[in-house]
């Protein structure tokens, strides 16, 4: 949706209107939208990005990406997110296994003895530290604003800030 809106905005000559969106796939945006259209565009992201090559999780993701996919270019944002997410899954399953053993391992055990016990888990800095509980199931509570630039890599405009849990807020309002 963000990509289409950016193209329309540019084609209609509305380039000076500031825009922010939840469209966080900066690499795809740079490959599919004219640089003039995305220059200055701001996105929210909850994780490390492909251009943050000093981030240990991005480095690790890039190594896996090039080793297993044999593709040029940086790993896509979704690939980096998947690596961080799988690290969190592995942590939850390991905690459940340690609590109930192999024979007791099932979905409920992973939730009760795994996910709800993950506290300040690092994920090699792909995400801010993740914490889950029975009451707090979303894990990552933080986002930051990234700005796109014509002819150079995006930049982070903010540090990670705590974001409202929109779905919970909406449910509580009903």
pLDDT by position in tens, the chain (length 174):
455 555 555 565 555 544 445 556 788 888 888 888 888 888 888 899 999 999 999 999 999 988 887 667 788 888 899 999 999 999 999 999 999 999 999 999 999 999 999 999 999 999 999 999 988 887 788 989 999 999 999 999 999 998 877 666 666 766
pTM over 0.85: no
In-domain check, residue 8: yes
Note whether 97 and 28 are same-domain residues.
Answer: no
C-alpha count within 13 angstroms, C-beta hemisphere, residue 172: 6
Note whether 59 and 110 are same-domain residues.
Answer: yes
Instruction: Give the Å distances, CA to CA, from 149 to 30, 40, 121, 134, 160.
Output: 9, 6, 32, 41, 20
Note whether 149 and 117 are same-domain residues.
Answer: no
For position 74, what pLDDT does the model report?
Answer: 80
For position 116, what pLDDT does the model report?
Answer: 94
Tokens found for residue 107: 């979905």
Strand (E) or helix (H) holding 146: strand 142-149
Let me know: does 42 contact 148? Beta carbons within 8 Å. yes
For position 167, what pLDDT does the model report?
Answer: 61
Which residue range is the domain that position 108 belongs to?
51-141
- Residue 159 CB burial class (10 angstroms; 0-12, 13-18, ≥19): exposed
For position 110, what pLDDT does the model report?
Answer: 95
In-domain check, residue 66: yes
For position 4, what pLDDT does the model report?
Answer: 53
For position 1, what pLDDT does the model report?
Answer: 43
Let me know: does 37 contact 149? Beta carbons within 8 Å. no
In-domain check, residue 167: no
For position 7, what pLDDT does the model report?
Answer: 57
Note whether 102 and 77 are same-domain residues.
Answer: yes
For position 99, what pLDDT does the model report?
Answer: 98
Query: Considering only CA atoms, which of 141, 163, 144 is closest in space to residue 154?
Result: 144
**Domain tally, the chain:** 2
In-domain check, residue 112: yes
Note whether 109 and 80 are same-domain residues.
Answer: yes
Let me know: does 42 contact 29? Beta carbons within 8 Å. no
Note whether 102 and 37 are same-domain residues.
Answer: no
In-domain check, residue 170: no
């Amino acid at each position: 949706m963000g990509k289409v809106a950016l193209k329309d905005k540019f084609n209609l000559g509305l380039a000076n209107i500031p825009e922010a969106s939840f469209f966080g796939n900066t690499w795809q945006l740079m490959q599919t939208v004219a640089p003039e259209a995305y220059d200055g565009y701001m996105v929210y992201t909850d994780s490390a990005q492909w251009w943050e090559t000093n981030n240990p999780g991005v480095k690790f993701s890039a190594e896996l990406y090039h080793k297993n996919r044999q593709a040029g270019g940086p790993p896509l944002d979704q690939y980096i997110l998947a690596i961080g997410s799988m690290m969190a899954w592995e942590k939850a399953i390991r905690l459940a296994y340690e609590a109930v053993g192999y024979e007791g391992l099932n979905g409920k055990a992973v939730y009760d003895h795994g996910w709800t016990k993950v506290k300040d888990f690092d994920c090699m800095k792909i995400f801010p530290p993740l914490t889950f509980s029975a009451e707090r199931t979303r894990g990552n509570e933080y986002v930051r604003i990234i700005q796109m630039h014509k002819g150079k890599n995006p930049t982070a405009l903010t540090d990670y800030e705590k974001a409202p849990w929109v779905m919970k807020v909406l449910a509580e309002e009903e």
